[in-house]
Amino acid sequence: MYDLCIYNARVMDPASGLDRTGAVTVKDGRIAGIGTDAQEAAVMIDAGGQVLSPGFLDIHTHEDGAPAAAERILPVQLAQCALRTGVTTLVTGNCGTSSPDVGEYERGLAETGVPVSSFMLIGNATLRRLAGLGSYDTASAAQIAEMCARCERELRRGAVGISFGLQYDPGTSYEEEKALWETAARHGRIVAVHMRWDYPEKARETLGEMLSLARETGARLEISHIAANLYGSLENGENVIAWADREIRASGCDISCDMYPYNVWATGLKSAVFDQGFGNFNFGVKDLEILTGKYAGQYCTEELFERLRKGGEEVQVACHNAMPPEDVEAAFRLPYCMLGSDSHMVRTPDGHLHGHPRGAGSPARLLGHFVRERKLLSLMEGLRKMTVLPAERFGLAGKGRLAEGADADLVVFDPDRIGERSRFGVDVCGIPPAGISAVVAGGQVKYRPLIF
């Protein structure tokens, strides 16, 4: 007798290329079999011809280590929001900021009963703060050695790699990067980088720094939210993404990237991104929409921007007019580009989650808007970007595939209806995506809405 059987499904597995009508059975948290007919199980789900795929991986999220230990772990609420989008595995600690201690992080997850699998990158900014460095400070040789020792310890304890947020910590030197990249390379782990600049005039320098480090250290590079940093045109008129793709392939280095399926970015209003003013950007203060805090849903004025920069709590802002939509699409067409929501939500005093809707709708938007409506990718290719590709890239054995013995993380969805329904500036997790009818994590049915 099996624990679970999902039958009458269009079983799609990008790892094997399988795409046929059949059934998947589950026992003790693992996939027990993939066949054509239903098997007797404690829980039976008739998929009614909908797609059954491996649970989705979101390799770019933020759970960045708040000061209080109780808040340092991914809140159950955030994980539930991810789960309702079909995400069963998260990678946190991106863009340089993480919990300082992966052991403590994992204990916290286990204690709170977070319903998804979660893996952590150790953040370079976190290491820098522990070494006493501010965002503009340059590390001494002793501080670099201290950071490398701490990084080494966290990698041994199970961190899946190291992340950098170079734009947020402009003081990060090439020497510091190189030493930490080498540490990750020795362990065969990922180096995920939010690059140093985010406008076309700096594209050559931005990517050049990455390619040089990848060549020198042999580390496995993951370029974070590629089209948020590389977009627009070079001085010769060439599209930056097309140029970057050529450079990346020519380098022969081990490089992949991630992106969220929105041409709207978001970041902290007090971050170093705005330290140089707006002279380099193709947008102004008035293009920034406030996503969190008491002004959520309002656009910035000069006065409000200055006031929020100076005092009070950090707020997140979104920019709707920076990245060209065609560059986000070009990024997703790269075969080595994976889904990464860049989700970073904040809990309001009344318990809602505010932020960019990418945290509540990225997989659904990729499959609904980019695959079905825009026909940018095949359904199988869209699924590959959030299943086997990220699982292999981050070395997450058992994730991202439908195979006997693999972790029983599964999603059932209607490819004709799947789509995001979340909006900016409000309770982003209030309305789940359309078309997702069942999500299984670790062999348990965790989400099964009556109306979907």
Q: Return the amino acid letter for 383.
A: L
Is 318:422 a contact under the CB 8 Å cutoff? no
Nearer to Zn ion, 95 or 147 (CB): 95
In this complex, which beta carbon is closest to Zn ion, that of residue 90 or of residue 439? Answer: 90
Helix (H, G, I), strand (E, B) or coil at 182: helix
Instruction: Give the number of other Cβ atoms within 10 Å of residue 139's Cβ.
Output: 21
CA atoms within 13 A on the CB side of 450: 0
Q: Which residue has the tokens 């007919």?
A: 37
Interface with Zn ion (CB under 5 A): 95, 194
Least distance (Å) from Zn ion to the CB of residue 311?
24
Indicate the DSSP class of residue 286: G
Q: What is the largest CA-CA distance in the chain?
A: 66
Tokens (6 digits) for 123: 């953040």
Cβ-in-10-Å burial (0-12, 13-18, 19+) of 30 comes to middle
Measured from the CB of residue 323, what is the shortest distance to Zn ion in angstroms? Answer: 13
- Could you tell me the smallest distance in angstroms from the CB atom of residue 166 to Zn ion? 10
Cβ proximity to Zn ion, 259 vs 438, nearer residue: 259
Tell me, what DSSP letter sits at residue 233?
B
Q: Is residue 208 within a helix (H) or strand (E), and if so which, with residue range?
A: helix 203-217
In the complex, the smallest distance separating the C-beta of residue 194 from Zn ion, rounded to whole angstroms, is 3
Cα–Cα distance for residue pair 360/371, rounded to 1 Å: 18
Whether the CA torsion 211, 127, 229, 278 is positive or negative: it is negative
| Total count of residues recorded for the chain | 452
User: Shortest distance, CB of residue 365 to Zn ion, whole angstroms?
Assistant: 19
Would you say 52 or 120 has its CB closer to Zn ion? 120
Q: Which is nearer to Zn ion, 194 or 385 (CB)?
A: 194
Which CB, 125 or 131, lies closer to Zn ion? 125
Which of residues 342 and 409 has its CB atom nearest to Zn ion in the complex? 342
- Shortest gap between Cβ of 95 and Zn ion (angstroms)? 3
**Minimum CB distance to Zn ion, residue 224 (Å):** 5
Q: In sequence order, which ranges of 253-357 are alpha helices (DSSP H)?
A: 302-310, 325-333
